[in-house]
Structure 1
Amino acid sequence: MTFPRLRHHLAAAGVYLLAALLITWPLVTKLTTEFTGFGYSDAYEMAHHIWWFKYALQTGNDLFYQSMLGYPNGIEGITLWAHPLQFFPAWLLAFVMPLPAAYNLSILLSLVLNGLALYWLALYLTRGQFGPALLAGLVYLAFPTMQGHLGAGHAGLMVQWPVPLFLYALFRLSERFSKRRFVLTALLFVMSTFGHTLQVIYVLLPVSALFLFRLTLRREWKRLARVVPALTLGAVALGLFLIPVARATLTSAAISEAGGAVRYSADLLAAVTPSFFHPLFGQLEYTHRVLGINIDEGYAYAGLVAGVLALLALWKMRAARWWAALGIVAYGLSLGPLLKLLDQPLRLHIAGYETFLPLPGALIDALPLLNLARTPGRFNFTLALAVAVLTAFALAYLWPRLGRARWPVAGILAGLMLFEYQAFWPLPTTPAFRPAAIEALAERDDIRAVFDVPWKNLVAAKQAIYLQTVHEQALVAGQVTRITPVDPAKLTLLQETLDPALLNEAGADLVIVHREYDDNGHLMARAREQLGDPIYRDDRLAVFEPPDPANPAQFTALPMQDEAVTDQTDAYVYAPATGWALFEATLEAQQRTATLQLDGIQIGTWTIDGEQNLRVPLPLEAGYHTISLQVDPPCPAAHDAALRCRAVALSDAAFGSLVEDDFRPVPFAGGVTLMGARPADVTDNRLAVWLWWRFDEPRNENEIRFVHLLNAAGELVAQVDTTLGEREAGEQLAEIVELALPHDLPPGLYRAYAGWYTYPDGARFPVLADVPGSESAYVLAGEITIPAR
């Protein structure tokens, strides 16, 4: 096999550079002023992380800890460790050129390298035929899946070039073992994930599995024995490399609970659907219906030119069959857990019931670790690989038969393919705006942090972290990926109140309103009311400097707003000190279970049948808290129109004022802990005692919780003994126990005690701490003075 010379390789690189410039036109004219991608894309987020690498190296900050996000604590950025090629060489280029140029040039470089890497693999597979390899690289570079992610600003996913090189090394190793080939195969296996870790699922897993299956089916045991150890070494090395990232990934709700497997899967017709942004094919109505709003993840058009060539390869070339199988498997997985047609899950009606058609992707969505792949459409990166190789095989068959016409034909095919693959014309770009007033903020040393609103708008959040590259100040929020890990209770209360005292407590010395995402201008109106006139304003932004607060931050609550709860509704509170706050609400439903959670921990559950008033004492540490009311089971996301889900009606939700208290947990034997307690008040001759329990072991109906009221002489004057029913380990309970007081109860000092015993033997749970009442196996909940009546 004779490979082309260096001049051929350089010519291929030149062709791919021209193709990259054509696909991304007019990016080359905006290299320093705009970023590749739509306004909603990840371009601003990627730009921020590129800037952070440069800034951290210049200032001595930890590269993998975002100390200037999530003020004052910072945000763990170890996930950046997992994607070195997502930001390199962009961060290196950022030292010598503007940030947009560094970002855009790195993407153009990735496109060119993608083409060259596939070209190199195709040279090997076609035994050195330059023309077929050149066009195969062009198919891979320009494949619609690549272009869709180009518009989404997914810089890391554009780094596909290690994959063809990994396959080249794998083929060479299977032919003949050498230490060099062995190490290179394992190294390229690991490097194939350096653009994005989940490439291991979307590309490496199907490619490697089918390669091994092919060798096994052919009983090529020697080849198998050569490649399996290299793949094993690569997998182990990748696992070790990702150890620092694993904990952060698996515990991050932004990643592990993101969902979207159906939304981000490909449509059944995606392979035959060009872009609705195409200058010609965009006129076809069905392109809009198939791709919907999912051109970023769902664009997988195989194309007429490449499609016909792939069929020719499948017909004429035996070696093409495995690549066709790889493409079919990848495309099948890209369809996700449910079959979609015209961008909607296909609905089936069976025996009067409506259901959906599940696909093999549902298995991936249900398996641990594999379910992190929430975007099945990305399996089409493997489809791009298969289609490009099939194109190479077809052209290798045609090449000697075309004679002198081969290069004119190749030029026509390349032009037609590039034309029909074109996703955008022009390429969407996002402005790299740098207002002088925002730049000037970098010179100020009296700013602790900047708070950007609306914080929950994903596009505004990306714009906010981009602005940090301009003003170089810490942010109250901010994220490394997808959504901020900062407490939503804190951010929501700050945004909805814009209270100068709360902002001061949070260190927010500036507030930036992103006006494009301020619905109905209500944030601007509130900011003017609370903070005065902005110190800077343009069409995009308004910057406010909060006045010094007259008083420290007070207890603040934002009650639940929903009137009909079908799943979950949240309230948020800020407590300046540790203590209790009474939550009250009225619920109405028909045989529905409702639970109340405090910061994700269940503290109460009720079966609502009719109207029921809730009164729950909330034990609050100083800081921000989320109180959630959940309906169990929640109403389904999709149900028959003839059916109605029974919601829980919510009204009169409110919080009392904060009652400061110290919580001193007291453990009992049997895994019960009294976390906090206080006698609250006497109303209508009834004493309310607030209790907060934690259950480390399961509870049953034969275990009795009691509250006894004793006089100064130690005599029992009132009591409530009752079971709390079955409780699971890990549950908590905040409750109000009301003791009916005797009408002739004399004035004086009384003590309330709480404890547990088993029924029917009456054996009390020992108290495992030296506290008042422990010698009698109960705990002093508090004292109360009954005045003369």
Structure 2
Amino acid sequence: MAAPKAWIGQRATLYIELRAPGSFVGTANFELPQIPGTLLMLVFPPLLAMNLWLIMTLVLNGTAAYWLGLELSDHHRGAAWLGGLVFMAFPNMQGHLSVGHIEILAVYGLPLFALCLWRILYRGAGWRTAAWGSLCLALACLGIVSQIIFNALPLTVFWGLYLLLADRDRLWRRDLRLRDQPWLKVAGMFAGGGAILLVFWGPLLTSAGRVEIETLHETGRVSFSADPLAFVSPSPFGPLDDLGLVPDYARDVLGVNSAEGAAYLGLAALILVIVAVAARREARSWLFIALLAMFFSLGPLLKWRDQPVTFRFENFESYVALPWAALQDLPFLDSTRTPGRFNGTTALAWGALVSIGAGVTLRRIKRPSLQAVAALGLGLIMLVEYQLFWPYDSFSADQPAYFERLAAMDEVRGVLNVPLENPLAVQHMMYQQTIHGKPMVGGLISRRTPQDPAVINILARLGLADTLPAGIPPEAIPYVLSEMGIDRVIVQKRFLPDPAQTVAALSAALGIDPEYDDDHIAAFAVPPINAAPEWSLLVVSSAAGWSESVQVPYAGGFEGAFLAEFGEWYLYSPVEQVGELVFKAGAYNVPRRVAISLDDHLVAGRVIEQGEIRLSLSLTPGFHTLRFDVPDGCTDYPFTLSCLSGDCAPLDPPLCISAAFGIPTWQAAARSPVVLDIELDHGLRLHAYTLDLLPEGVSMRLFWEADHALPHSYALFAHLADPVSGEPLAQDDDFPAVLTTDWGDSARWVSDVVIPLPDDLPAGDYAINVGWFDPVDGSRLAVQGDRPWASVGIVHLEMVKIP
């Protein structure tokens, strides 16, 4: 939401959206790269201003690198121009340009910071240069935190490491006073730049900032790292592909990771780099920086053709871990997830080497005019080699007039776009929001929206009315949308496989035709729903953690999906209710322990074999997340899942599966539990219970609450006891499926217990007692209060009459 707001100049220097609940605590830095573009909007239309600022940013990058190249090439303008061209047009830069990463592209301060470092270390410059270097360091790092981690920090650390290993005299000069030592000037430069940056990045160092970083659960540290083949992979989308000069592997390397993984070095540039290293000893430091940046851009795991490399040793299989795996979770470094951005430093060092090499090469040409022709020719070759896309993608920014009419509809509370989870559709709906200005579901704030995943997933499935999961009635669509304050549904047709079918299904579910329909979008007005729903609960599964739906041969056969190590179901309850979620389940290969949490509170555990699972839940109105965790992990299955029914087609890589779960149904409880709130030791409470006399025995459901894990692994006892002495006459003792030492904070454990009745038990009144004991020494958890037998660690529930 924030970026389009900046495009049209609305609060462009005060990002209210970035201060949304669950979003960023450090916001000032996000405005800085956008301010010049905002000023251009005073003269040009918004999108033209945005595109102009992108182009100007690239030109500023190239110009700054040109100034660095002048210093490195002994003021040879043609050589400096080539070095600036390499930095500006390096494939990594073009990758960020292709997705509009203006804050990442705004690195024009980086070459200037490098220039100040060079002058201090190699030219003996003084404290004035160090002061300028502080400002350039701040300028290089104000766009996004990754500029510190992937550009400024590695440039300085790698350079310092090279000097310590090979050229120590550059840091410490015996003939200079302490105040004139190069290392002290560099340290002062960092201190000054750091003080400036602290104003902007300081919030990330606070407790709130740490929480913000730790709650950004976005993946991508492997996906957005570079492949070793990236450095020798010209773009399969550029002009070299038309000439048949792109190897087959390049499409694997760049096919899905061109934005973060492009890093082709280029043959023309490589030749000049070889000349630089051979002719100038000082060039070796730049080569050292480039090689280390390339190495760390490979990320935490080695990839080949964009797939992690695995190796097998005896019965063990593993990935090839790289040093970044040990560094990426260090404080501050854990605030980002894209190691491929180290190649911004590669681009700088490579451009510096090209300037040095070109300076040596071009000076061998005596005539200035021929030098200019040679420089232009080399520049043209480099541009052709580096071109990531050709022709460059563009599309019309015009949008239907419907969005302007929508902006004037004050009664519209919110908008749902379909499909909701397609990243390209999200970009379009965010752009459209800059026109209609209505609140919308989803979008991007902190990488992904901080909205509850249950909300996002259920609304995403309801919007795709033609592919509703089993068990969800179409009449749930208008009810949930209306309850959520969604008054418009906009179908983004170009991102759906069969948009006509989706539009028809929505029309049928909502009972109306679209109020606007063209080749690109269809817009529906959601009718208000006041009647109580006839359905009781909606359940959809998360995309991650589950296999596709298959016919499972366990427990008599059922349709379901296999769980890996963990997965989630998302629930929507229209009312407050207590009941059971009932479904079939079957474990693959061996019985599986499964821990079950509702909204981050542990509620139950089961040992899955084969049969029906009845899971008791207490639900408030709204959205909930039910999570399944398999503590003992999953097992590789090297065939398609249909093999379970006899069709054994091999599968590489194998699936990892633990247990299959069928389609759940909801059965409301006949009555509410009896509330007790009995306190036991160690923060454990019996909140409530239900009790039924069944032919097989006394059936109880016990609702426990625990502030934290218990200090010992306790077993639960349930007694049918003498009503006077409390001595047990029948009992059931067992450990919970998740041990009490593993319950964690705020557990809401539900125990299902059946006390079998002896055949010779006389009719009469009996006491029903429960509690917890340590099997090691037999001691019971102490019980507070004055209920019967509390002093001996027993929770008395009630008296029952056995007929």
Could you say which residue in structure 2 is the equivalent of 1:325?
A: 288
Could you say which residue in structure 2 is the equivalent of 1:433?
A: 398
The structure 1 residue matched to 2:507, chosen from 528, 531, 535, is 528
Check conservation: 1:305, 1:413, Cα contact below 8 A: yes
Higher mean displacement: 412-421 or 360-369 = 360-369
Q: Distance in 1 between matches of 2:296 and 2:502?
A: 43
Q: CA deviation at 1:381?
A: 0.9
Check conservation: 1:177, 1:226, Cα contact below 8 A: no
Q: What secondary structure is seen at the aligned counterpart in 2 of 1:307?
A: helix
Check conservation: 1:504, 1:549, Cα contact below 8 A: yes
Distance 1:102 1:780, change over 3 A: farther
Higher mean displacement: 341-350 or 442-451 = 341-350
Q: What secondary structure is seen at the aligned counterpart in 1 of 2:235?
A: coil
Check conservation: 2:24, 2:446, Cα contact below 8 A: no
Could you say which residue in structure 2 is the equivalent of 1:16?
A: none
CA deviation profile, 1:424-452 (whole Å, cap 9, x unmatched) = 22111243232101111111111111122
User: How many residues get paired?
Assistant: 730
Aligned amino acid, residue 670 of structure 1: D
The answer as to 2:157 corresponding to 1:209 is: yes
Could you say which residue in structure 2 is the equivalent of 1:55?
A: 10
Could you say which residue in structure 2 is the equivalent of 1:494?
A: 459
CA deviation profile, 1:442-497 (whole Å, cap 9, x unmatched) = 11111111122222222222222222101111113332143222112123333434
Q: Larger relative CO (CA 8 A, sep 6+): 1 or 2?
A: 1
The 5 Å alignment of 1:317-466 reads 317-348=280-311, 350=313, 355-365=318-328, 367=330, 369-404=332-367, 405-466=370-431
Q: What secondary structure is seen at the aligned counterpart in 2 of 1:570?
A: strand
Distance 1:678 1:149, change over 3 A: same
TM-score, normalised with respect to structure 2 = 0.81
Q: CA deviation at 1:645?
A: 4.7
Could you say which residue in structure 2 is the equivalent of 1:76?
A: 23
Q: Distance in 1 between matches of 2:355 and 2:203?
A: 40
Q: CA deviation at 1:382?
A: 1.0
Could you say which residue in structure 2 is the equivalent of 1:31?
A: none
Q: Distance in 2 between matches of 1:227 and 1:477?
A: 45
Q: What secondary structure is seen at the aligned counterpart in 2 of 1:403?
A: coil
Could you say which residue in structure 2 is the equivalent of 1:25?
A: none
Could you say which residue in structure 1 is the equivalent of 2:274?
A: 311
Q: CA deviation at 1:161?
A: 0.7
Q: What secondary structure is seen at the aligned counterpart in 1 of 2:681?
A: coil
The structure 2 residue matched to 1:503, chosen from 462, 468, 481, is 481
Check conservation: 1:695, 1:729, Cα contact below 8 A: no
Could you say which residue in structure 1 is the equivalent of 2:436?
A: 471
Q: Distance in 2 between matches of 1:228 and 1:707?
A: 72
Could you say which residue in structure 2 is the equivalent of 1:540?
A: 520
Q: What secondary structure is seen at the aligned counterpart in 2 of 1:322?
A: helix
The structure 2 residue matched to 1:117, chosen from 55, 61, 64, is 64
Could you say which residue in structure 2 is the equivalent of 1:128?
A: 75
Q: CA deviation at 1:549?
A: 0.7
Distance 1:345 1:435, change over 3 A: same
Q: CA deviation at 1:578?
A: 4.4
Could you say which residue in structure 2 is the equivalent of 1:515?
A: 493
The answer as to 2:235 corresponding to 1:275 is: yes
CA deviation profile, 1:589-615 (whole Å, cap 9, x unmatched) = 21333222212343333343x424332
Q: Could you tell me the percent identity over the aligned residues?
A: 29
Q: Distance in 2 between matches of 1:132 and 1:642?
A: 49
Could you say which residue in structure 2 is the equivalent of 1:557?
A: 538
Could you say which residue in structure 1 is the equivalent of 2:219?
A: 259
Check conservation: 2:79, 2:358, Cα contact below 8 A: yes
Q: CA deviation at 1:255?
A: 7.3
Aligned amino acid, residue 617 of structure 2: L
The structure 2 residue matched to 1:243, chosen from 198, 202, 210, is 202
Distance 1:440 1:328, change over 3 A: same
Higher mean displacement: 401-410 or 710-719 = 710-719
Q: Distance in 1 between matches of 2:30 and 2:67?
A: 24
Distance 1:439 1:277, change over 3 A: same
Higher mean displacement: 234-243 or 378-387 = 234-243
Aligned amino acid, residue 138 of structure 2: V
CA deviation profile, 1:156-203 (whole Å, cap 9, x unmatched) = 221121111111233345566766444432333233222221122211
Q: CA deviation at 1:323?
A: 0.3
Q: What secondary structure is seen at the aligned counterpart in 2 of 1:195?
A: coil
Distance 1:360 1:697, change over 3 A: closer
Q: CA deviation at 1:546?
A: 1.3
Aligned amino acid, residue 593 of structure 2: T
Check conservation: 1:536, 1:543, Cα contact below 8 A: yes
Aligned amino acid, residue 142 of structure 2: F
Distance 1:496 1:393, change over 3 A: closer
Q: What secondary structure is seen at the aligned counterpart in 2 of 1:281?
A: helix
Distance 1:437 1:636, change over 3 A: farther
Q: What secondary structure is seen at the aligned counterpart in 1 of 2:438?
A: coil
Check conservation: 2:159, 2:289, Cα contact below 8 A: no
Check conservation: 1:84, 1:194, Cα contact below 8 A: no
Could you say which residue in structure 2 is the equivalent of 1:593?
A: 593
Q: Distance in 2 between matches of 1:710 and 1:594?
A: 36
Q: CA deviation at 1:306?
A: 1.1
Q: CA deviation at 1:779?
A: 9.4
Q: Distance in 2 between matches of 1:774 and 1:438?
A: 70
The structure 2 residue matched to 1:689, chosen from 701, 719, 726, is 701
Aligned amino acid, residue 648 of structure 1: A
Distance 1:476 1:144, change over 3 A: closer
Distance 1:638 1:714, change over 3 A: closer
TM-score, normalised with respect to structure 1 = 0.82
Q: Distance in 1 between matches of 2:375 and 2:773?
A: 87
Distance 1:555 1:754, change over 3 A: farther
Could you say which residue in structure 2 is the equivalent of 1:8?
A: none
Could you say which residue in structure 2 is the equivalent of 1:191?
A: 139
Could you say which residue in structure 1 is the equivalent of 2:742?
A: 728
CA deviation profile, 1:699-747 (whole Å, cap 9, x unmatched) = 4245655577898999999765555455225152222233457987669
Q: CA deviation at 1:507?
A: 1.0
Check conservation: 1:518, 1:524, Cα contact below 8 A: no
Higher mean displacement: 236-245 or 562-571 = 236-245
- For the aligned residues, what is the CA RMSD? 3.7
The answer as to 2:736 corresponding to 1:737 is: no
Q: CA deviation at 1:544?
A: 1.1
Check conservation: 1:46, 1:155, Cα contact below 8 A: no
Check conservation: 2:571, 2:624, Cα contact below 8 A: yes
Check conservation: 2:15, 2:31, Cα contact below 8 A: no
